[in-house]
Amino acid sequence: MFKRRKSKKQRPAEGAVLDSLAESGETVEHEATSGPYDVADAPDDDEVRRIDLGAIRLPVPKGVGFQAQTDAKGNISQVLLTTGASALQLLVRAAPRSEGIWEEFRGELAAQVTGQGGQVEEVQGRWGTELIAKVAAKKGTNSVRFCGVDGPRWFVQATFQGQRALDEAAAPELDEALRNLVIDRGATAMPVREPLPLKLPPKMAEEAAARIAQRKAEGGDGNRAIIAAGDTPKPQVRRKPSPRPKR
């Protein structure tokens, strides 16, 4: 699932608001990750097919489709993987070095769901402590499963939708993708919880820009496009924006 091993690395002193990278020369314990991987610990020869999105290297296993919502410059606002009747939405955030943020973040998600009239249950699942939320929809309720992975200076927010939200045995390809995700946090100081910047590869970004330009030329509006790749580009589940705690 997810494990850490400890190794020595030079780490800077910690800032109060920003994840400061000022060099202090202090030697502290660095926690290395294994599935999802920090870029410093990612395998070099695992032959996993990945799309380079800047802050993440996104695996797209066989039978899985990839969708990104993007602007004309290729800046991504949403990443979605789909297979069958299940989907996985991914968001990667900056985090402090000293501690994880999933426990606090989980409590805020639960409060937001219940505050909107939904129901939430805390369970022990494949990715540790998870939340299964039921939110009101036009026809009944939709179920989503919130999972979180704390890494070194990053946090992965994974939201399963469709069948995988309620059945851990459904869509193992999506868990495979999450397990083989590689995060490149970078050296830029960022506020804690700030989403890491994601960007399409050049050819995909050109395609997005062309689609947006064509739509505008035809009298349409909107500054965003959906770019798809992989084996199942059209999801079979209804996507509903996940509640996000306020920073």
The residue segments making up the domain with residue 141 are: 3-230
Q: How many CA atoms lie within 13 A of 23 on its CB side?
A: 3
Q: Residue 206's CB: how many other CB atoms inside 10 A?
A: 13
Q: Which distant-in-sequence residues (6+ apart) come within 8 Å of 124 by Cβ?
A: 130
Domain contains 40: yes
Domain contains 237: no
Domain contains 163: yes
Domain contains 193: yes
pLDDT reported for residue 19: 55
pLDDT reported for residue 233: 47
Q: For the chain, give me the number of helices (H) and strands (E)?
A: 4, 14
pLDDT reported for residue 235: 42
Do 145 and 163 form a contact (C-beta atoms < 8 A)? Answer: no
Domain contains 244: no
Helix (H) or strand (E) holding 213: helix 202-217
pLDDT reported for residue 31: 57
Do 196 and 94 form a contact (C-beta atoms < 8 A)? Answer: yes
Do 156 and 145 form a contact (C-beta atoms < 8 A)? Answer: no
d(CA 124, CA 155): 19
Task: Please report, as a single letter, which amino acid is at residue 2.
Answer: F
For tokens 């920073």, what's the residue? 247
Domain contains 146: yes
pLDDT reported for residue 36: 96
Helix (H) or strand (E) holding 178: helix 172-179
What region does 169 belong to: left with phi over 0, alpha with psi -120 to 50, or beta?
A: alpha
pLDDT reported for residue 107: 97
Do 156 and 34 form a contact (C-beta atoms < 8 A)? Answer: no
Omega cis (within 30) before 201 = no
d(CA 199, CA 116): 32
pLDDT reported for residue 159: 98
SS3 55: coil
Helix (H) or strand (E) holding 136: strand 128-136
Q: Which runs of consecutive H residues, i.e. helices, occur in 59-170?
A: 102-115, 163-166
Domain contains 211: yes
How many domains does one find in the chain? 1
Rg (CA), the chain: 19
pLDDT tens series, the chain, 247 aa: 444 333 333 333 333 345 544 333 444 454 556 689 999 999 887 889 899 999 999 999 999 999 999 999 999 999 999 999 999 999 999 999 888 999 999 999 999 999 999 999 999 999 999 999 998 888 888 999 999 999 999 999 999 999 999 999 999 999 999 999 999 999 899 999 999 999 999 999 999 999 999 988 888 888 999 999 887 544 444 444 455 555 5
Domain contains 224: yes
